[in-house]
Structure 1
Amino acid sequence: MISDLLQHIVEAGAVEQNVSKQEAAETVRSPAHTTIITHFELARTLERANRRFATFLQAEMTRQGVQEIGPAHAMLLLTIGDDELSVGQLMDRGPYGGTNLSYYLKQLGECGYIERIPLARDRRTVRIRLTEKARELCADLTEVAAKYHRLVAGDPENIRKMEVAFETLDRLERAWATAAIFGSPGER
């Protein structure tokens, strides 16, 4: 049913773009496969890639002797980077829920990775910034990730493929966010 729906969407888009149904069907099929890649398969692949990346981060952090925080904490530190952000800004930049984010920030503060700076005009509001310990960890992780990036990217063609993958994932993320707020296209 989902495959039929996706096929219908592709065919409808083809009509709008004056492309034949056969050409439209071929655009959603991988040349090596006869199955249609759906949003569900993409989401599952993203989840697996995210878990693999978390495993990679954990292994690198263990090699560096960092055991008091996990990969989710490291990603939060990398999200903060050189900025000084409010909790609301952090929530906008990453996939953090309020409760999880507060818990992660509490742990990072206790372990000496972040500083909380109260605003002068409203002491209840704080800005978050990295400590030197966190900046060193982020630099180390960024250096290791750069080595793997060079290994995977390798040449201009692979770099372009990564750019296309990023652009596609970014478009999907925006489409899913819009659908979550406004409903699917047929419901508007």
Structure 2
Amino acid sequence: MISKLLQHIVDTDTATLPSGDTNAVSVRPGGRTSTHTTVVTHFELARTLERANRRFASFLQAEMTRRGVQEIGPAHAMLLLTIGNDELSVGQLMDRGPYGGTNLSYYLKQLGECGYIERIPLARDRRTARIRLSEKARQLCSDLTEVAAKYHRLVAGDPENMRNMEVAFETLDRLERAWATAAIFGAPGER
């Protein structure tokens, strides 16, 4: 049942947007015979990313609830997955994820209180510490990674879909870098 539902989601084309948008690029989904043309803008991409992020957070919350994890939420789980098997400083965590200093400190405090992370003070400066996962957190990350892999196999089950996911990732990575550069230096032509 879940497999059929996921396949339906993967195969369903998105709605057509008005063609008057001057910032739009017309794209025909690869490999499908469709009479619809999807119009993609930066705003549509940002909205889709936001929806996908919320859906993924809901997915994580549901999986954590199934495992009896009630004391932390999806944002905490993503932070644990970001740490992974590494031992990181707070600065390194900020570089790896979308965390602001205040939010990150708050999340780390909660994760420490709930026994998901260990704080290892540095010998030369006990105020500075490295963060690593506890065994409890490693088990949760392992469980979440395992179930996510099952969904990944359903969505990217063949080489063509896998390549489409790689292209999507590469495109989103380029957009993220372009938006970060524009935020710092301004839009092209304004510099």
Q: Structure 2: how far apart are the matches of 1:36 and 1:54?
A: 26
Structure 1 residues 138 and 35: CA distance shift in structure 2, 3 A: closer
Query: What is residue 68 of structure 2 aligned with on the other side?
Result: 65
Residue by residue over 1:110-143, the C-alpha shift from the partner in whole angstroms, topping out at 9 and shown as x without a partner, is 0000011110011111100000000000000000
Q: Structure 1: how far apart are the matches of 2:46 and 2:40?
A: 10
Corresponding position: 1:120 with 2:123: yes
Partner amino acid, structure 2, of 1:86? S
Corresponding position: 1:3 with 2:6: no
1:37 Cα offset (Å): 1.4
* Secondary structure in structure 1 of the residue aligned to 2:79: helix
TM-score normalised by structure 2 residue count: 0.84
Partner amino acid, structure 1, of 2:51? R
Query: What is residue 10 of structure 2 aligned with on the other side?
Result: none
Q: Structure 2: how far apart are the matches of 1:142 and 1:35?
A: 32
Partner amino acid, structure 2, of 1:143? E
Structure 1 alignment gaps of length 5 or more: 8-27
Partner amino acid, structure 1, of 2:93? L
TM-score normalised by structure 1 residue count: 0.85
Corresponding position: 1:159 with 2:162: yes
* RMSD, matched Cα: 1.3
Corresponding position: 1:149 with 2:152: yes
Query: What is residue 114 of structure 2 aligned with on the other side?
Result: 111
1:42 Cα offset (Å): 0.4
The structure with more helix, counted as a fraction of residues: 1
Runs ≥4 residues deviating over 2 A: 30-36
Number of aligned residues = 166
1:3 Cα offset (Å): 3.0
1:35 Cα offset (Å): 6.3
Q: Percent identity?
A: 87
Query: What is residue 30 of structure 1 aligned with on the other side?
Result: 27
Structure 1 residues 148 and 34: CA distance shift in structure 2, 3 A: closer
